[in-house]
């Protein structure tokens, strides 16, 4: 099986030449961390090695062996991760990888999100199941950093930042999935200021495991007398083991793993049901203020959505690599020229499949890293207005990345299976795992419908559409620059992009009107609108990349990568970008017919 | 778990009102079988019961338990099917279901393919793994009927037609997948006119099992001195047990099951590796003439392609049903009107997902049954020219159905998972199985690339494009009739269809030119062209269906089905049909860039 091969060349291109690492490194916070482009490259190389050599070999093992639940010493059950996972996690922590993007005051390395996103793409691509524990721990770190008391921060953050302990998010309950207002877990205040938590949480990733000596659960729950709905939710920190006087894990807390799910994919990542309070309540500490739980969670959730977009990128990249390797090695049929058999990569449709995978993956990477760079600016630019502008742009692009990249990745991994033909359906080749694993990404951290509603509702309506209009204007300006480029490929891409930009603008007008006059009718076409926007944004970024590549070639660069980038951008413009035409028609012409039909018709 | 619910209402509509069962029943062969519309309805009801009550309950069991290989009494191994499969097969045979479409002279019921296709949709939808043994047995019956000697027919056909014994196709070898010219199995003639077969065959569906006392393998192999390539292939009948003097299964033949595959889906259907000739050669009987093996196989393969199209229809239908039932039962969120929770079917995007599934599935059914009706005409019309015309139309539509319906079904079953949200990723809900099962359909019996090449190459070029042009003209005429319909929905659909017909015509011209000037450049866009054609044909048939429905309503029909059909057709026109715009652009604008790139770029 083809092991994960870190796509360092394209990662560097996007970081340095498309997003511009130099300007990110120049932000005061990163000057303080002594981050520079050379450091970025060194970190990428080391991360690539770790991903390829340590995480990738465990990917199939995690799938085959899975995390297992077994009756535990605590009376309910505990989770054993797949063979090799605990050792790999130990090495991950020893390598200091958990600390990479975290704040220096708690032991973090304070490196840019732009770099952290690239590094995380490699963890996710090499082993999505393993990477979940990193994502969740970073989420817990973020929430504590935003809202934790000084005491909670001092006690827990250093151990989370180092990776000594891991984190979880306890959100979902059987009756409360996409609808967080339905959360029913109770938190009862105690005299000493702590809380006792009661209730069941489901779908808790790495809610129990054997790779670290303690787990820090962040739990959404409802205090007595809290208002109904999301305003009644507060956030609590519930350690698996309560700390003793010396700060070490001591008594077992009353939160137990009742079972784990048997899932389509990510078998190596335990998806647990956690029961709080079967024996008197789990001990919890309030994070932030009463009733502000959702706000804090939302900050984490935005990061989590970008993280899931990066997951779909990583897996799509790996699937393409596997298909690509197979296509060069598998001999079948002839090309009509030589007499003998040829590798199937010579067949036109196999080329089409592979190039669709490569070019779309590159477009997704360009968008994910663009957002990460904007996050760095939003957090650390000196000018407040610049920070605000970047923040708004991040908020606009986040649902687009999450929705579009994850839906695309399902198609792209399915295409990778297709390249393998019959062998793609046989589990031992490993390619089917990519589809099974990535299929969760359009679901968790807000389904595509949730992303689409966020985009069509909150994000478009906000500030009278100013953020979107400014963004469309920027894409149009870049398009105008492409149109006058010396390179004919760049000019050809500009032609196709012009049409998609018109599609985006007309669809945005149409959906804005619908959201105003009849929001439900707008929501019927919100998902096609989101896909239209993702496809267009991908085309814009691939066009920009083509311009950079053409300029490099004009300046005498002899790296074949630049000519390849022109080819992948042109292919994207010919094969992916035209989809916006149909999507725009759908957004415009749907008449809300569905809303009037009886439930029984569906 | 929602059990399979036969979609009898839409099946009847398509059979009687869209394709027109009355005219099919009037063909001489079916008059002889005493087939009439009432009989068709009675058979549909009985088949629906069998599918829902006997096959559907075994679907999840087949997935979970799978077919198992175990060391066998024959020295290598044998296959045990999942619990319940042997008993269900016994009841299937007792019910006479295998004989339904077969020729009366060998014990068949001689019923129309139109009906047989509808019935098989139900077997496939209820339990795809189980249905494979039916498909393969019908394939063997067809090949023997076409080309077997009278003796072979007399000996084997009655037992296959009754279902007492089952059939297989032994085609693929490790080095010969899509490329049949690479088949290397040897057939050595014996003095008594029989052959001894040597070699390994892989991916042989139901190549071994425990549900019938004998298996009739049809094996492609090469005789000594045969020319290289496909012209050197001959077809042989190789029984698992050699018949004794009384015609009963006697000595074990030298064909053994070495292993079965661990697959992404259809776990209940054993995919075997068969070894011929480890102990002196398996005994085989020549079917037809030496060197004509591929021709015979090709007739079977065309039927098999239609059958796979129907498989994807059946599974997509079942996935929609499951998602639909879940959406009406799962309470989550509010609709902003009532205060309380609503079933998720009220949410606009869930409606969009479900209606995309329902409408596309209906379009696929309309195409599959249309082809089946044309097959009946092609086989049994009294007028030779009418037979020939129908035959050509079947040949044009077959790759379109196979490629478009299977690729669509992957998307549709994935959408069904999306409706389930997080529960869709949990195997116990059963919806993930639909995606895992259906993912094989774009691969076997000719990948989508093979279908696309067949369409863009052989089928378009043939008879100077006359068949395609006649077909486009027919669609345009129907479109013109829709445009003047009284019903405004039908007229609106006609508008959307007009654009897609133009897309189809312009893309057909473009691809024909490419196939002439540079076939490889044509093949780069053959798959987008196929999807464009499938989408357009689906729109044409949904438009026709809408016209029929509007007419029924105008005539006072009070069945709510007709209003629903107008809605599904309109939705298809708004949400699916517009995709042809982008596909046509791709077909026209791709410049064959891919062909000039180095293998390493992919």
Summarised one tens digit per residue, pLDDT across range B45-58 is 999 999 999 999 99
pLDDT at A337 over 90: no
- Distance between CA A94 and CA A211 in Å, rounded? 13
- Distance between CA A442 and CA A457 in Å, rounded? 19
Please indicate whether, in this complex, the C-beta atoms of A581 and B581 are within 8 angstroms of each other.
yes
Q: Does A11 touch chain B (CB under 8 A)?
A: no
Instruction: Using CA atoms of A133, A134, A135, A137 in order, give the dihedral in degrees to the nearest 10.
Output: 80
Q: Which residue has the tokens 């999840």?
A: B60
Q: Is A82 helix (H, G, I), strand (E, B) or coil?
A: coil
> In B112-254, which ranges are E strands?
166-170, 186-189, 195-205, 215-222, 233-239, 241-243, 249-252
Query: Once rounded to an integer, what is the mean pLDDT over residues B477-497?
Result: 97
Q: Is B184 helix (H, G, I), strand (E, B) or coil?
A: coil
pLDDT at A74 over 80: no
pLDDT at A75 over 70: no
Residue range A7-43, pLDDT digits in tens: 999 999 999 999 999 999 999 999 988 899 999 999 9
- Distance between CA A34 and CA A29 in Å, rounded? 9
> In 3D, which of A279, A295, A313 has the Cα closest to residue A10?
A313
Q: For residue A11, what pLDDT is reported?
A: 98
Q: For residue B444, what pLDDT is reported?
A: 96
Please indicate whether, in this complex, the C-beta atoms of A524 and B349 are within 8 angstroms of each other.
yes
User: What distance separates the 2 farthest-apart alpha carbons in chain B?
Assistant: 85
Helix boundaries (H) for B421-554: 431-438, 448-454, 460-461, 466-483, 488-517, 519-524, 526-554
Which of B175, B439, B599 is closest, CB to CB, to A417?
B439
Catalytic residue check, B329: no
Q: Do A208 and A80 contact (CB within 8 A), yes or no?
A: no
Please indicate whether, in this complex, the C-beta atoms of A435 and B432 are within 8 angstroms of each other.
no
- Distance between CA B590 and CA B135 in Å, rounded? 39
Q: Does A262 touch chain B (CB under 8 A)?
A: yes
Residue range A169-209, pLDDT digits in tens: 999 999 998 899 999 999 999 999 999 999 999 999 999 99
Angle of helix A526-554 relative to helix A384-420, nearest 10 degrees, comes to: 90
Q: For residue A162, what pLDDT is reported?
A: 98
> In 3D, which of B242, B226, B313, B297 has the Cα closest to residue B6?
B313
- Read off the DSSP letter of residue A430: S
Query: Once rounded to an integer, what is the mean pLDDT over residues B207-229?
Result: 97
> In 3D, which of B46, B162, B31, B164 has the Cα closest to residue B102?
B162
Q: For residue B74, what pLDDT is reported?
A: 62
- Report how far Cα A477 is from the mean position of its chain's Cα atoms: 29
- Distance between CA A101 and CA A138 in Å, rounded? 9
Looking at beta carbons, which residues of chain B come within 8 Å of A327?
Answer: 602
Sorted by where each begins, the domain ranges of chain B are 447-595
Ramachandran quadrant class, B387 (left: phi over 0; alpha: psi -120 to 50; beta: rest): alpha
Mutation target vs B (from A574, A589, A593, A600; most B CBs, 10 A cutoff): A574
Mutation target vs B (from A352, A423, A525; most B CBs, 10 A cutoff): A352
Reading the block at residue A65, the tokens are 């062996």
Min Cα–Cα distance to chain B from A323, Å: 9
Which of A421, A579, A583 is closest, CB to CB, to B447?
A421
Residue B66 backbone phi and psi in degrees, to 5 = 65, 165
Residue B339 pairs in a beta bridge with none
Q: Which residue in the list B445, B466, B474, B496 is annotated as catalytic?
A: B445
Residue range B144-162, pLDDT digits in tens: 999 999 999 999 999 999 9
Q: Do A566 and A489 contact (CB within 8 A), yes or no?
A: yes
Please indicate whether, in this complex, the C-beta atoms of B421 and A347 are within 8 angstroms of each other.
no
Which of B349, B410, B599 is closest, CB to CB, to A449?
B349
pLDDT at A340 over 90: no
Please indicate whether, in this complex, the C-beta atoms of A582 and B580 are within 8 angstroms of each other.
yes
Q: Exposed (0-12), middle (13-18) or buried (19+): which is B41, by Cβ within 10 Å?
A: middle
* DSSP-assigned letters across all residues of A349-374: HHHHHHHHHHHHHHHHHHHHHHHHHH
- Distance between CA A443 and CA A172 in Å, rounded? 13
> In 3D, which of A193, A375, A173, A163 has the Cα closest to residue A274?
A173
Which of B331, B427, B567 is closest, CB to CB, to A593?
B567
Query: Once rounded to an integer, what is the mean pLDDT over residues A95-107?
Result: 96
- Distance between CA A375 and CA A382 in Å, rounded? 13
Q: Does A418 touch chain B (CB under 8 A)?
A: yes
Residue range B558-596, pLDDT digits in tens: 999 999 999 999 999 999 999 999 999 999 999 999 999
- Report how far Cα B466 is from the mean position of its chain's Cα atoms: 26
Angle at CA of residue B115, ends B109 and B119, nearest 5°: 95
pLDDT at A499 over 70: yes
- Distance between CA A576 and CA A568 in Å, rounded? 11
> In 3D, which of A273, A180, A271 has the Cα closest to residue A234?
A180
Please indicate whether, in this complex, the C-beta atoms of B602 and A443 are within 8 angstroms of each other.
no
Name every residue whose Cβ is closer than 8 Å to that of residue B129 and which is 6 or more positions away in sequence: B59, B62, B63, B67, B82, B266, B267, B268, B269, B437
Q: Does A36 touch chain B (CB under 8 A)?
A: no
Reading the block at residue A583, the tokens are 């999507």
Residue range B281-313, pLDDT digits in tens: 999 999 999 999 999 988 888 899 999 999 999
Q: Does A594 touch chain B (CB under 8 A)?
A: yes
- Read off the DSSP letter of residue A166: E
> In 3D, which of A388, A407, A411 has the Cα closest to residue A399?
A407
Query: Once rounded to an integer, what is the mean pLDDT over residues B37-50?
Result: 97
Mutation target vs B (from A349, A447, A562; most B CBs, 10 A cutoff): A349
> In 3D, which of A78, A55, A52, A58 has the Cα closest to residue A206?
A78
Which of A440, A448, A599 is closest, CB to CB, to B425?
A440
Residue range B510-528, pLDDT digits in tens: 999 999 999 999 999 999 9
Q: For residue B300, what pLDDT is reported?
A: 85
- Distance between CA A8 and CA A243 in Å, rounded? 42
Looking at beta carbons, which residues of chain A come within 8 Å of B358?
Answer: 601-602
Chain B, nearest residue to A580 by Cα: B582
Which of A341, A439, A528 is closest, CB to CB, to B417?
A439
Please indicate whether, in this complex, the C-beta atoms of B527 and A351 are within 8 angstroms of each other.
no
Min Cα–Cα distance to chain B from A261, Å: 6
Chain B, nearest residue to A333 by Cα: B179
Q: Do B406 and B438 contact (CB within 8 A), yes or no?
A: yes
> In 3D, which of A149, A143, A142, A154 has the Cα closest to residue A113?
A142
Residue A217 backbone phi and psi in degrees, to 5 = -85, 130
Pairs across A and B, CB distance < 8 A: 256
Q: For residue B465, what pLDDT is reported?
A: 86
Q: Does A311 touch chain B (CB under 8 A)?
A: no
Q: Is A171 helix (H, G, I), strand (E, B) or coil?
A: coil
Q: For residue B306, what pLDDT is reported?
A: 97
pLDDT at B73 over 80: no
Chain B, nearest residue to A64 by Cα: B262
Looking at beta carbons, which residues of chain A come within 8 Å of B436?
Answer: 264, 436
Q: Which residues of A are catalytic?
A: 445
Q: Do B453 and B461 contact (CB within 8 A), yes or no?
A: no
- Read off the DSSP letter of residue B176: B
Looking at beta carbons, which residues of chain B come within 8 Å of A418?
Answer: 442-443, 447-449
pLDDT at A413 over 70: yes
- Distance between CA A312 and CA A317 in Å, rounded? 8
Helices (H) and strands (E) in chain A, counts: 21, 12
pLDDT classification of A568: cutoffs 50, 70, 90: very high
Q: Do B548 and B481 contact (CB within 8 A), yes or no?
A: no
Across chain B, mean pLDDT equals 96
Reading the block at residue B455, the tokens are 């369409």
- Distance between CA B376 and CA A49 in Å, rounded? 62
**Strand (E) or helix (H) holding A306:** helix A293-329
pLDDT at A339 over 80: no
- Distance between CA B582 and CA B588 in Å, rounded? 10
Q: Do A197 and A238 contact (CB within 8 A), yes or no?
A: yes
Q: Which residue has the tokens 């259906």?
A: B438
Please indicate whether, in this complex, the C-beta atoms of B350 and A449 are within 8 angstroms of each other.
yes
Query: Once rounded to an integer, what is the mean pLDDT over residues A230-257?
Result: 97
In the stretch 453-512 of chain B, residues with CB closer than 8 A to chain A read 453, 496
> In 3D, which of A78, A68, A70 has the Cα closest to residue A275?
A78
Q: Do A115 and A97 contact (CB within 8 A), yes or no?
A: no
Task: Determine the length of chain A.
Answer: 602
Q: Do A24 and A30 contact (CB within 8 A), yes or no?
A: yes
Please indicate whether, in this complex, the C-beta atoms of B177 and A345 are within 8 angstroms of each other.
no
Q: Do B352 and B572 contact (CB within 8 A), yes or no?
A: no
Q: Do B104 and B162 contact (CB within 8 A), yes or no?
A: no
- Distance between CA A146 and CA A138 in Å, rounded? 12
pLDDT at B464 over 70: yes
Reading the block at residue A502, the tokens are 């018109």
Q: For residue A296, what pLDDT is reported?
A: 94
Q: Do A39 and A126 contact (CB within 8 A), yes or no?
A: no
Chain A, nearest residue to B411 by Cα: A411
Residue range B200-209, pLDDT digits in tens: 999 999 999 9
* DSSP-assigned letters across all residues of B392-442: HHHHHHHHHHHHHHHHHHHHHHHHHHHHHGGGGGBGGGSHHHHHHHHTTTT
Which of A427, A595, A601 is closest, CB to CB, to B564?
A601
Q: For residue B462, what pLDDT is reported?
A: 79
- Distance between CA B192 and CA B202 in Å, rounded? 29
Residue B199 pairs in a beta bridge with B276
């Amino acid at each position: 099986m083809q092991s994960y091969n870190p796509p360092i060349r394209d990662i560097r291109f996007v970081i340095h030449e498309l997003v511009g690492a130099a300007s990110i490194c120049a932000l005061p916070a990163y000057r303080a961390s002594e981050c520079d482009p050379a450091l970025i490259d060194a970190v990428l190389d080391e991360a690539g090695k770790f991903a390829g050599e340590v995480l990738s070999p465990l990917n199939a093992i995690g799938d085959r062996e899975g995390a297992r639940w077994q009756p535990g010493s605590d009376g309910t059950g505990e989770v054993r991760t797949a063979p090799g996972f605990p050792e790999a996690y130990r090495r991950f922590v020893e390598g200091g990888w958990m600390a990479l993007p975290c704040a220096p005051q708690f032991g973090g390395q304070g490196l840019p999100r732009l770099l952290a996103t690239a590094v995380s793409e490699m963890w996710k691509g090499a082993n999505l199941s393993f990477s979940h524990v990193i994502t969740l721990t970073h989420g817990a770190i973020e929430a504590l950093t935003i809202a934790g008391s000084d005491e909670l921060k001092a006690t827990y953050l250093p151990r989370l930042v180092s990776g000594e302990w891991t984190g979880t998010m306890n959100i979902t309950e059987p009756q409360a999935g996409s609808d967080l207002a339905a959360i029913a877990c109770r938190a009862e205040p105690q005299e000493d200021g702590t809380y006792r938590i009661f209730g069941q949480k489901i779908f808790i990733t790495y809610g129990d495991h054997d790779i670290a000596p303690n787990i820090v659960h962040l739990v959404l729950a409802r205090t007595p007398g809290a208002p109904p709905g999301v305003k009644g939710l507060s956030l609590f920190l519930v350690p698996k083991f309560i700390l003793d006087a010396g700060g070490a894990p001591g008594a077992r807390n009353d939160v137990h793993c009742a079972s784990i799910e048997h899932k389509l994919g990510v078998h190596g990542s335990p998806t647990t049901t956690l029961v709080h309070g079967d024996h008197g309540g789990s001990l919890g500490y309030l994070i932030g203020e009463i009733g502000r739980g959702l706000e804090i969670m939302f900050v984490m959730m935005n990061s989590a959505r970008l993280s899931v977009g990066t997951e779909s990128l990583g897996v799509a990249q790996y699937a393409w690599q596997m298909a690509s390797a197979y296509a060069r090695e598998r001999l079948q049929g002839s090309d009509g020229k030589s007499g003998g058999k040829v590798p199937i990569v010579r067949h036109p449709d196999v080329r089409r499949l592979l190039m669709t995978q490569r070019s779309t993956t590159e477009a997704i990477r360009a968008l994910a890293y663009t957002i990460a760079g904007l996050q760095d600016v939003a957090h650390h630019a000196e000018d407040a207005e610049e920070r605000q502008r970047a923040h708004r742009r991040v908020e606009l692009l986040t649902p687009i990345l999450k929705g579009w990249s994850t839906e695309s990745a399902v198609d792209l991994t399915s295409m990778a299976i297709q390249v393998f033909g019959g062998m793609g359906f046989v589990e031992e080749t490993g390619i089917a795992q990519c589809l099974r694993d990535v299929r969760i990404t359009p679901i968790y951290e807000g389904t595509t419908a949730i992303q689409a509603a966020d985009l069509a509702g909150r994000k478009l309506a906000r500030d009278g559409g100013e953020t979107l209009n400014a963004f469309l204007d920027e894409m149009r300006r870049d398009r105008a620059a492409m149109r006058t480029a010396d390179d004919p490929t760049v000019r050809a891409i500009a032609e196709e992009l012009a049409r998609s930009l018109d599609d985006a603008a007309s669809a945005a007008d149409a959906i804005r009107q619908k959201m105003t006059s009849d929001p439900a009718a707008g929501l019927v076409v919100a998902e096609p609108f989101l896909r239209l926007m993702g496809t267009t944004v991908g085309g814009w970024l691939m066009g920009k990349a083509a311009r950079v590549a053409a300029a490099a070639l004009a300046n005498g660069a002899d790296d074949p990568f630049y000519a390849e980038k022109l080819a992948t951008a042109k292919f994207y413009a010919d094969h992916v970008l035209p989809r916006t035409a149909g999507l725009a028609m759908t957004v415009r012409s749907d008449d809300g017919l569905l809303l009037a039909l009886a439930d029984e018709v569906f």
